[in-house]
Structure 1
Amino acid sequence: MIKINFAGIRTFSFVDYPKKICAVVYTPGCNFKCPWCHNWKIAYTKNYSSMEEIHVLNKLIYLKKRISAVCITGGEPTIHSYLPKFIQKLKHLRYSVKLDTNGTNPEMVKCLIENNMIDYIALDIKAKPENYSKLIGKNDYLFFKISRTIDILRNSTIDYEFRMTFVPGLSNEEDINFFENFLKDEEKGYITIANSTELFQVKRQYSDFNINKLILR
């Protein structure tokens, strides 16, 4: 039997699932190495306290009296083959499930949607394709996979959103323009400004955005 470990759980959140109070489950590891990542310890180090699946599920069984939803985030959850089976257990507990993803595993996303295991997806758009490597800390060109995930969402009936983190010093106005032009009229697009971490110092030179479709949060 595969031993499944998580990077932790936050038992109460008002902001991680639209219109629902949720718990947040963190998966370890990521196929990106974003230098500005605020979850960098669980994304690309081993410097965190792991939690076995049984302990996560026991907490969620107890929390069912108070909350109705779970957000799965990371790291990048879709790099883990155990994700569908874990989500099945959440659905057996009658939780609504939201997935945060970078979009690089379209096959996993398609599987989750087609098997009715997911209720909401938040997909990160890091930058315009030409600027992706700077934001994700790798030279791998993965936007073709992200584009496939975008198409899967757009051709599904699932509720979803797109979001971008603007990183002063790495992001630029062209990234914002790309994101706004990319969005369809009925789609939800959000943008936030990155905060400094122990590894990356951001400059606050961008405080006012010339945005039309995007919502700053």
Structure 2
Amino acid sequence: MSHATRHLYPATNHSHKVALKVGGCAPFSATDYPGQLAAVIFVQGCPWRCGYCHNPHLQERSPNSAIDWTALLDFLNRRVGLLDAVVFSGGEPTLDPALGAAIRAVRRLGFKIGLHTAGTHPARLLEVLPWVDWIGLDIKAEFSHYDAITQRTNSAAAPLRSLQLLLNEDVLFECRSTLHPQLHSPASVQALGQHLHKLGVKRYAVQIFRTQGCSDDFLNKTGQALQAYPGEDVLQNLQGLFPHFEVRRS
């Protein structure tokens, strides 16, 4: 996962057909779209407040875009032939009503489109699916425990609906879960994997929490505890559930 680079392209007073609120851009990433070299666009705003958030400065949605969309599109145009894909991340990109127009504009340049989403807006996810080539869907926890992670009530319904949409559509996607030992016990990690397997998920990745960018001190676990977590037996059990399984550590 990439961190947002802010103020790469200062906002201007130009008027734009696309009003996507961009909070940052990573010009090059080899990890945000599997097997592809990509730029990552970070969209402002997220309805949730997960304590281990990787880009907490993007949670709020400011009145103006921090990065000029036209300048960013010009930059991507100069990268045609050098990059394979552009990934829309956040924040939560499906929060932005301009996401569909922005994706289509980038796709017209010839790039593959990746999308990182927590599934907070299933209707908009469905809207953009025809132009998206790969999706990384964040699954925070067992759906009965979502609110403890997101710090918002009734937060599980939307991502469950988004997952069901992806399972019924012809789009390549993976589910991924960021795990922290204070929030996800080994037993709960195992239960989550079994639930996703029963739903029909084929690609699953667990991402072990890392302290970089975290906004909450109580979550700053480091060293040997994280290296051993969530346990080799749990990881082996998960490996047996999914045709494609990956463990990602910092």
Using the size of structure 2 for normalisation, the TM-score is 0.79
> Alpha-carbon deviations, 1:104-157, whole Å to 9, x = none?
2111111112xx21111110110112321121122x112122111111111111
1:176 aligned onto 2:192: no
Match of 1:187 in 2: 202
Change (3 A) 1:71 1:105: same
SS of the equivalent of 1:25 reads strand
1:90 aligned onto 2:106: yes
Determine the C-alpha separation between the residues in 2 that align with 1:123 and 1:108.
14
One-letter amino acid of the structure 1 residue matched with residue 187 of structure 2:
E
1:202 aligned onto 2:215: no
1:124-163 → structure 2 map (5 Å cutoff)? 124-138=138-152, 140-163=153-176
Q: CA deviation at 1:96?
A: 0.4
Q: CA deviation at 1:14?
A: 0.5
SS of the equivalent of 2:119 reads coil
Determine the C-alpha separation between the residues in 1 that align with 2:154 and 2:144.
9
1:54-69 → structure 2 map (5 Å cutoff)? 54-69=70-85
Tell me if the contact between 2:22 and 2:42 (Cα under 8 Å) persists in the aligned partners.
yes
Tell me if the contact between 1:11 and 1:63 (Cα under 8 Å) persists in the aligned partners.
no
One-letter amino acid of the structure 2 residue matched with residue 216 of structure 1:
V
The farther-off stretch of 152-161 and 3-12 is 3-12
Determine the C-alpha separation between the residues in 1 that align with 2:182 and 2:123.
33
Match of 1:119 in 2: 133
Q: CA deviation at 1:186?
A: 6.3
Q: CA deviation at 1:85?
A: 0.3
SS of the equivalent of 1:103 reads coil
Determine the C-alpha separation between the residues in 1 that align with 2:150 and 2:196.
21
Tell me if the contact between 1:68 and 1:96 (Cα under 8 Å) persists in the aligned partners.
yes
> Alpha-carbon deviations, 1:40-87, whole Å to 9, x = none?
0112376xx810111110111111131020111000000100000000
Match of 1:215 in 2: 246
SS of the equivalent of 2:59 reads helix
Give unmatched runs, 5+ long, in structure 2.
1-14, 240-244
Tell me if the contact between 1:33 and 1:44 (Cα under 8 Å) persists in the aligned partners.
no
One-letter amino acid of the structure 1 residue matched with residue 125 of structure 2:
V
Using the size of structure 1 for normalisation, the TM-score is 0.90
Tell me if the contact between 1:127 and 1:135 (Cα under 8 Å) persists in the aligned partners.
yes
Change (3 A) 1:202 1:131: farther
SS of the equivalent of 1:66 reads coil
Change (3 A) 1:92 1:131: same
Percent of pairs with identical residues = 25
One-letter amino acid of the structure 2 residue matched with residue 192 of structure 1:
Q
Pick aligned residue for 1:79 from 72, 87, 95: 95
The farther-off stretch of 186-195 and 82-91 is 186-195
Q: CA deviation at 1:198?
A: 4.5
Change (3 A) 1:68 1:111: same
Determine the C-alpha separation between the residues in 2 that align with 1:189 and 1:135.
19
Match of 2:10 in 1: none
